[in-house]
Amino acid sequence: MKKLVSLLIALFVFTNLSAQDLYKADSRLSECLGNEFISQLESSRSDLIPYYNYYLDNSYYVVKLNSLEKEVTGTDIHTVLKQSKKPNEKVYFSEKTYTKEKFNPLNYNFDLSSNSFTTYIWKEAGIAIIFYPLSHISADFKDYMKNQNN
């Protein structure tokens, strides 16, 4: 009986810790949303936090340009504007290397389509970043949340 009670307590604690992590903002969000806004979202347990966290790593995939048989076509990533709090400031994409853990697609004004893939060519990094259609991202996020709540 003690083992069963201990198991139930452990399961309860693990479930609560997992739920708390779901509403904990990825550190990359502070780059574009601001710490005060993030704190408000976290304290209200807003679904925006898990959505933005999900979007950071699951809105796109990467292919290496030199590993493909045919040339990938798309928009030059350096034509994309960085998000700015100053309305008249125009800063274009200028990153030199790609690291999945550090790349933040929310920092930029990527022009994504509702129903088709969008490709950006990043020659310096030797990759193409291919964004899923917004409808795909939304549907996959809903599935992700269902799985988190089970």
Give SS3 for 91. Answer: coil
Q: What is the mean pLDDT of residues 25-30?
A: 95
Give the residues across from 108 on adjacent strands: 82
| pTM tops 0.85 | no
Binned at pLDDT 50, 70 and 90, residue 8 comes out as: very low
Question: Which pLDDT score is estimated for 5?
Answer: 33
Give the lowest-confidence range in 64-73, 82-91, 102-111, 135-144.
64-73
CA atoms within 13 A on the CB side of 42: 17
**Residues 147, 22: Cα–Cα separation, whole Å:** 12
Contact, 29 vs 106, CB < 8 A?
A: yes
